[in-house]
Amino acid sequence: MYLYSYLMPKEVRERVDNIMDCEDIAMNFLAAHLSRKPPMKVPSNFDFHCAGCKANISKKKNFWDERSVCIQFLTRIYGYQPLLYTQSRTDPVTTEIPSVNEYGKCLSRPDGV
């Protein structure tokens, strides 16, 4: 949040404060700009629901248009489009990992400690 608050151009923070559906893209622009690395998809086993929400935010009439305008705005502010294409992803381990006790002899130091 420090980088977002102090390194993100002020124009971007003001835009995000005034327009919904741009904050996640702005954060990705900042991360890509600073790291020069592509994103890593990390799937979640959790399903997040908003009990008080009437509908999915992406169902709004102009949702995708607003996000396109956001990307165009951020590209203009940064002077380039820093988002990189990737096909990498990380998946959670789906098998049990043996406990240390099962491999105790392998993991013990030669001096017995």
DSSP β-bridge partners for residue 89: 41
Extract the runs of DSSP E, i.e. beta strands, from 29-109.
none
- Measuring CA to CA, which residue among 38, 29, 30 is closest to residue 6? 30
Active-site residue, from 17, 24, 47, 65: 24
Q: Distance between CA atoms of 7 and 78, rounded to whole angstroms?
A: 12
Whether 24 sits among the annotated catalytic residues: the reply is yes
In three-state secondary structure terms, 89 is strand
Catalytic residues: 24
